[in-house]
Chain A
Amino acid sequence: MKIVTARRISQIFFFSLFVWFCVVSTVGSKPWQIRGWPVNLFLQLDPLAAIGTILTTHTLYASLLWALPTVILTIVFGRFFCSWVCPFGSLHHFTGFLGNRNKPTPQKIQLNKYRKAQCVKYFVLIVFLAMAAFPSLGASLQIGLLDPIPLLTRSFNLLLLPVFDSSVNFVSATARFYEGAWLIFAVFLSAVLLNLIIPRFYCRFVCPLGALFGLLGRFALWRIGKNSSPCADCKLCERNCEGGCEPAGRIRISECVLCFNCLDYCRDDVIAYQTKPSSAGEVTGPDLSRRGFVLSLIGGVFAVPALRLSGKLSGNWNHKVIRPPGALAEEQFLERCIKCGQCMRICPTNVIQPAGIETGLENLWTPVLNNRIGSSGCQLNCVACGQVCPTSAIRPITLDEKLGIGKFADAGPIKLGTAFIDRNRCLPWAFGRPCIVCQENCPVSPKAIYTREDFNTIRNGLMTVKQAQGKIIETVESTMPADRFATGDYYCVFAGEKPLKITANSEDSIEIAENPAKKPTEGDTIAIQIRLQRPYIDIEKCIGCGVCEHECPVSGRKAVRVSAEGQTRSADKTFLSLKI
């Protein structure tokens, strides 16, 4: 069996595994649902997530330890991950193959030449690591923007899967939506299409993970190179070279992605995977200019404080950023979120959305709740998001902690924010219409929305009595729409009596439910009133789950909206209600 065949099988295996993990990330115990599938495996194998969080938090969180075998294997064998495991790499490899396979050989060799621009990915890596490295200046984990595993996970989960599933509705019974997916699409598509210009464009020029592997693989014990056999200089080896590392000449070890295509094409058995350096010489490290290095370092170090000058983490904090239950306080959250989108994928109600650029550059693609999207706001008895977060930016909380029961009864429930009734838009408040859908749907017990009864005289509701007999009152005016007031919400008020329910009406008479204590006489004025229950939020009980916002019938700009004040994750910054 040829080594390249093994590599192709490996690529197919890991790519399929990756796609499978994306498909099964649904809460449930069927074989095609999450069960115990290790859906975060690729994110855990990815050392950038581990190294990034080590820099920002000075800890290596639990399952990210899987990065250690990847690191050690890279140190010993070189950039095997890029050609054998990375699903994004496989995608680029395949697209590049499709796009360039009919080109003549000399052109292909030219496309695979090493380009100086291949050092850009190292600068990308340095900028991101520098942004993470100095917590005292403000550390921000932005590596997720270009790290291929989170990028591909995002693209699959938030874009490709919902698109493919929208017609078969297998993964999700209802179509899933993700805001700002257009930007994810644009990034993904560009990365893939650029392979038509130069194969493995992303891997060679952009990928910070490849850059990291290039640095780690400097002292690889085995590497590609020419052995001592005579070389005819036919350059066939560079025909399908994936890394752009020039094995025909002085091979650049840090660019070699161990695709073994060179070894496969050499007819004279000159190329080998050996412990000796290439007989034509090798270049071990990346070709970085000192100027470039310093500039990217400074850029990275100053980027975070510069970004934070807008005060978004203190007084000018964004109250629209409502994070999932179990999310850390904002500063700590931004130290851990790698923007992988797993929480958005698994959320059963589709309420967790990727934040767009309007919430700030640091927040791009981090999870925020949009209660208008999805099936119901944040479900009360669900803690799925924290269970799949690979870095614990969203802690894996128990249901007890979320609901504030059992051991957590003292601490109380986790609040995502507080709902605010917009009295200018709410039907019973502004338009004299009965509603209380919000109160009905409030899931906590006792409810966090309560109502106060109020009676409002309706428009044109004042009538003059012609005569009143028993339960029937005839009016001088004959303008009432027949039976309009028979819905059970309308009441009749006169002479300081309490409102009496109207059971029927014609154009010029109303029938009330009980005989009035004092009979109205001719000429008296009666008022037709509508009974309203006006909602109020009990801010001590509201957990900001957003179900009320979701259900509010004022469906554009909702009449009750959740805002992040009162969120328990940042009590000293956004505190709202005391237990009084």
Chain B
Amino acid sequence: MTRQNDESFGRRQFLARAAKAGISAGAAGIISYLLYDTVGPQAHHPAEDLVTLPGFSVKQQPGRTISIVKGSDRVKTVDKAIELLGGIERFVRPGETVAIKPNVAFASPPMLGATTNPQLVAEVVRLCYSRGQAKKVIVTDNPINDPASCFMLTGIGKAAEAAGAKVILPKPHLFKHTTLQGGKLIKDWPIFYEPFTKVDKLIGIAAVKDHHRSGASMSMKNWYGLLGGRRSTFHQDINTIIAELAMMVKPTLVILDGTEVMITNGPTGGSTSDLKQTNTLIASTDMVAADCYGCSLLNLKVSDLPYLTKAASTGAGITDYESLEPKLATVS
């Protein structure tokens, strides 16, 4: 009797073990099958993993492409400049999310003019919320110096938050690789990407600055902040990279602040004597045109800056800003 019990017990045990063994073996087989990879890793990001930056431009309205406003008070001049182009309501619809990309490249105080003026940023944020009825406004950039220090020392972080915007610092997981169609430099290169997938409109706010390498840094060069990786290497072909940035980024609106331009020692400056009061503010849906006018504030001609014609030849805009019938005004 015990012998029989032993045997049946033994058999049951065996079957139980066999089941467990079978399940483990099966699991091993299934995992192997699901994860089996004959191709192996590739050298570069496969095309499926590459992203494309979305475009944010709005419909053209003839005569309302570029506005140039003279005045010393940025808050007043920017209000007027945007009003002349149809008001913020033309650009921001109620309930939309807006990204504002100022120049926060250096951990430099606002009075040195190396970065975008914080009050200007705050005013644009305010306009988006009040007149534009935006649901949310983010302010972001990928600075050269330490990001947290930059947002703090430039005053932009505080000003933006005071106006109700959220500051997004560049974190590694927010970057994705892209290849620019028709570009020769931006190939499988990381860009600051994620925040811009969640917004409806993109406004760039740049200062007008002298730049030792490219000649000038204005609204198109402002987008250099979207490049990741070891982007300083692109200085080897600075005019092409700026033109490619103009191809890659299609903002809704750019604001070029020529109230106090950095006339020498750019892009970092360092002394207030590097600045010159020119009391001009430009708003434009055409970055090329904006920069072409802006360079005159630095006593430069369009022919002095090769990237202007290069960018125009890619179709990013036109150099002859006069032909766009700029709206002019003066604000006391």
**A308 interface contact, C-beta 8 A:** no
**B13 interface contact, C-beta 8 A:** yes
On chain A, the residues within 8 Å of B38 by CB distance are: 62
With known contacts A60-B36, A392-B41, A578-B234, A221–B17 Cβ distance under 8 A:
yes
A76 to chain B, nearest CB (A): 6
A454 to chain B, nearest CB (A): 26
With CB as the reference atom, state the residue of chain A lying closest to B10: A276
Interface 0/1 of B43-79, CB less than 8 Å to A: 1100000000000000000000000000000000000
With known contacts A76-B25, A395-B43, A580-B236, A54–B17 Cβ distance under 8 A:
no
**A577 to B37, Cβ gap below 8 A?**
no
B319 to chain A, nearest CB (A): 24
On chain A, the residues within 8 Å of B37 by CB distance are: 59-62
A328 to B45, CA, bound (A): 12
Interface 0/1 of A376-415, CB less than 8 Å to B: 0000000000000000100110000100000000010010
Of A68, A216, A220, A575, which is within 8 A of B229 by CB? A575
A568 to B10, CA, bound (A): 62
A interface size (C-beta, 8 A): 42
A395 to B21, CA, bound (A): 36
On chain A, the residues within 8 Å of B29 by CB distance are: 68, 72
**A65 to B36, Cβ gap below 8 A?**
yes
**B233 to A578, Cβ gap below 8 A?**
yes
On chain A, the residues within 8 Å of B185 by CB distance are: 578
On chain B, the residues within 8 Å of A62 by CB distance are: 36-38, 40
User: Which residues 309-343 of A sit at the B interface, judged by CB distance below 8 A?
Assistant: 328, 332, 336
Interface 0/1 of A538-580, CB less than 8 Å to B: 0000000000000000000000000000001101111111111
**B230 to A59, Cβ gap below 8 A?**
no
**B321 interface contact, C-beta 8 A:** no
**B155 interface contact, C-beta 8 A:** no
On chain A, the residues within 8 Å of B228 by CB distance are: 572
**B304 interface contact, C-beta 8 A:** no
User: Which residues 11-41 of B sit at the A interface, judged by CB distance below 8 A?
Assistant: 13-14, 17-18, 20-21, 24-25, 28-29, 31-32, 35-38, 40-41
**B274 interface contact, C-beta 8 A:** no
On chain A, the residues within 8 Å of B17 by CB distance are: 219-221, 275
With known contacts A54-B35, A332-B41, A219–B24 Cβ distance under 8 A:
yes
**A256 interface contact, C-beta 8 A:** no
On chain A, the residues within 8 Å of B28 by CB distance are: 68, 71-72, 75
Interface 0/1 of A214-225, CB less than 8 Å to B: 001001110000
On chain A, the residues within 8 Å of B21 by CB distance are: 75-76, 219-221
A568 to chain B, nearest CB (A): 8
A537 to B32, CA, bound (A): 48
On chain B, the residues within 8 Å of A578 by CB distance are: 185, 233-234, 236-237
**A569 to B40, Cβ gap below 8 A?**
no
User: Which residues 262-285 of B sit at the A interface, judged by CB distance below 8 A?
Assistant: none
On chain A, the residues within 8 Å of B10 by CB distance are: 275-276
On chain B, the residues within 8 Å of A54 by CB distance are: 31, 35
**A432 interface contact, C-beta 8 A:** no
A96 to B35, CA, bound (A): 40
**B188 interface contact, C-beta 8 A:** yes
**A575 to B36, Cβ gap below 8 A?**
no
On chain B, the residues within 8 Å of A275 by CB distance are: 10, 14, 17
User: Which residues 230-270 of B sit at the A interface, judged by CB distance below 8 A?
Assistant: 230, 233-234, 236-237
Of A59, A395, A571, A572, which is within 8 A of B35 by CB? A59
With CB as the reference atom, state the residue of chain A lying closest to B227: A572
Interface 0/1 of B275-301, CB less than 8 Å to A: 000000000000000000000000000
A85 to B234, CA, bound (A): 55
B48 to chain A, nearest CB (A): 15
Across the A-B interface, the 6 shortest Cβ-Cβ residue pairs: A572-B229, A59-B37, A392-B40, A219-B20, A60-B35, A219-B21
6 contacting pairs across A/B (C-beta < 8 A): A62-B40, A65-B36, A68-B29, A395-B41, A571-B188, A578-B233
Given A62-B37, A411-B44, A572-B177, 8 new contacts (CB under 8 A): A60-B37, A75-B25, A220-B21, A275-B14, A395-B40, A568-B43, A577-B236, A580-B237
